[in-house]
């Protein structure tokens, strides 16, 4: 059996590796030329995502590029420490959630797939496909085509395949936020390594993590959790501060230069976010999207997975992890089913409830980041209670304690 994989983001190469584990050949077709990843932005690979990568023996590669970030500390824009929650769970071997540059994650997954003998072809943008009784043929913008037994669409939140599969499928839904990211070397005044600091600012949301004491010496299993600290002023030995910002903004309202806009959004907050932005190359920013429930995930020989099926806003830090889980579950379903139809049905039954729950959870957080002035006051009052509940009752265990198995 041969699968055509459309897209070489995260779901694409990991799915190809998972399929290979169960004896299915896969070829990847990516729209862009190699190395077109969004440099500078980073993402959280949660412990559940790392657990899924572990099943494929591919987690070491990610960990060696990443910062361990087992904790999240929340702050208000006035500098008040609102509380702390665990960022994921500790796996049996001690591995915790990690933060990694998007470009490193993409490159690592792609290189690992290639090392395992999987062919990746670039400059192949799927524009349409046709199915016969026994095969499916993908057609690309350059006039070429490829034929296989299955087509697995890993083409992201704006998936072309989704619209062909079901022209009534919902389009991506704008969250009301633009996202920015940057890296400042030796900032000298930021927080503790191992902590993702999240600041509910007066006008926008700011997050940062420190690659300080661990800098360069990245580890497979993280050392004991760093001690809790209530100060935002702890000085790291040296290293980098990785930051991101979520700015409420009308879609398409794009200034010539984002930097002064972002600085203004943060300069009344009682922390150093505006200063970090001043010292960074801010770039063009990305509007953040998620997907309402997508009614059709598969038809015939074609299946959507990853963001193409269930894109979540970044607020839960789960999109990449869900994509990796999908890959592992799909491989198992194909191995254990009598036909691809049965496999796709089993896959959807297993994955839809979880994916949609994460999307809904993430959306509530994004909404609170885009809150107006009145809602913001209410949010800042309620957050400490909410955080206390999350911390004490492990209320997010449903999200993190999921083991995708092959």
Ligand X SMILES: Cc1cc2nc3c(=O)[nH]c(=O)nc-3n(C[C@H](O)[C@H](O)[C@H](O)COP(=O)(O)OP(=O)(O)OC[C@H]3O[C@@H](n4cnc5c(N)ncnc54)[C@H](O)[C@@H]3O)c2cc1C
**Site residues, ligand X (CB under 6 A):** 6-12, 29-32, 41, 43-44, 124-126, 154-156, 160, 179, 286, 288, 306-308, 314, 317-321, 323
For residues 159 and 222, which CB has a smaller minimum distance to ligand X in the complex?
159
Contact 30, 125 (CB under 8 A): no
For residue 98, the cross-strand partners are: 45, 68
Shortest Å distance, C-beta 65 to ligand X: 14
Minimum distance from residue 317 beta carbon to ligand X (Å):
4
Answer left, alpha or beta for residue 145, where phi above 0 means left and psi between -120 and 50 means alpha.
Answer: beta
- Of the candidates 26, 21, 70, the one whose C-alpha atom is nearest the C-alpha of residue 45 is 70
Instruction: Closer to ligand X by CB, 283 or 384: give it.
Output: 283
Q: Where are the beta strands (DSSP E) in 93-239?
A: 98-101, 119-121, 126-131, 136-140, 145-148, 150-153, 173-185, 195-200, 205-211
Residue 117 Cβ vs ligand X, minimum distance, rounded to whole Å: 20
Q: Which is nearer to ligand X, 365 or 391 (CB)?
A: 365
Query: Phi first, then psi: what are they for 4, rounded to 5°?
Result: -95, 125
The contacts of residue 117 (CB under 8 Å, 6+ apart) are 20
Structure tokens at 15: 């799915």
For residues 32 and 189, which CB has a smaller minimum distance to ligand X in the complex? 32
Give the nearer residue to ligand X in terms of CB position, either 12 or 191: 12
Does residue 206 contact residue 179 with C-beta atoms inside 8 Å? no
User: What is the smallest separation between the CB atom of 374 and ligand X, expressed in angstroms?
Assistant: 27
Residue 283 Cβ vs ligand X, minimum distance, rounded to whole Å = 11
Q: Name the DSSP class of 295.
A: S
Q: In the complex, what is the shortest distance from the CB of residue 32 to ligand X, in angstroms, rounded to a whole number? A: 5
Q: Are 304 and 153 in contact (CB under 8 A)?
A: yes
Closest CB to ligand X among residues 44, 280: 44
Structure tokens at 94: 């001690």
Of the two residues 209 and 232, which places its CB atom closer to ligand X in the complex?
209
Q: How far is the CB of 353 from ligand X (least distance, A)?
A: 18
Backbone angles phi, psi at 370, to 5 degrees: -95, 15
């Amino acid at each position: 059996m041969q699968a055509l994989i459309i897209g070489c983001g995260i779901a694409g190469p990991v799915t190809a590796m998972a399929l290979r584990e169960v004896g299915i050949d896969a070829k990847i077709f990516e729209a862009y030329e190699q190395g077109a990843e969004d440099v500078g932005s980073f993402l959280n690979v949660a412990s559940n995502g790392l657990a899924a990568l572990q099943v494929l023996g591919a987690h070491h590669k990610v960990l060696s590029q990443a910062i361990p970030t087992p904790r999240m500390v929340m702050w208000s824009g006035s500098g008040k420490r609102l509380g702390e929650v665990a960022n994921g769970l500790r796996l049996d071997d001690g591995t915790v959630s990690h933060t990694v540059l998007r470009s490193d994650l993409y490159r690592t997954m792609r290189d690992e797939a290639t090392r395992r003998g999987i062919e990746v072809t670039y400059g192949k943008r799927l524009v349409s496909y046709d199915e016969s009784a026994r095969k499916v043929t993908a057609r690309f913008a350059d006039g070429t085509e490829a034929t296989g037994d299955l087509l697995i669409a890993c083409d992201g939140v704006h998936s072309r395949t989704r619209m062909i599969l079901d022209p009534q499928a919902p389009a991506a839904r704008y969250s009301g936020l633009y996202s920015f990211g940057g890296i400042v070397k030796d900032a000298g005044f930021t927080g503790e390594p191992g902590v993702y600091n999240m600041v509910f600012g007066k006008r926008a949301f700011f997050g940062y993590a420190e690659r300080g004491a661990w800098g360069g010496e990245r580890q497979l299993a993280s050392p004991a959790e760093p001690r809790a600290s209530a100060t935002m002023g702890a000085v790291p030995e040296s290293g980098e501060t990785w930051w991101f910002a979520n700015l409420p903004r009308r879609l398409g309202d794009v200034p010539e230069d984002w930097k002064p806009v972002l600085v203004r959004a943060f300069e009344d907050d009682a922390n150093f976010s505006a200063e970090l932005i001043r010292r960074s190359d801010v770039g063009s920013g990305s509007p953040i999207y998620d997907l309402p429930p997508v009614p059709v995930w598969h038809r015939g020989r074609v299946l959507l997975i990853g963001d193409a099926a269930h894109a979540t806003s970044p607020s839960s830090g789960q999109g990449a992890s869900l994509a990796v889980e999908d890959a592992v579950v799909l491989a198992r379903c194909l191995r254990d089913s009598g036909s691809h139809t049965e496999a796709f049905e089993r896959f959807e039954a297993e994955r839809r409830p979880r994916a949609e729950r994460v999307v809904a959870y993430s959306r509530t957080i994004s909404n609170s980041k885009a809150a107006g002035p009145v809602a913001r006051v209410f949010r800042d009052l309620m957050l400490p209670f909410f955080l206390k509940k999350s911390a004490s009752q492990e209320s997010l265990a449903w999200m993190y304690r999921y083991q995708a198995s092959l």
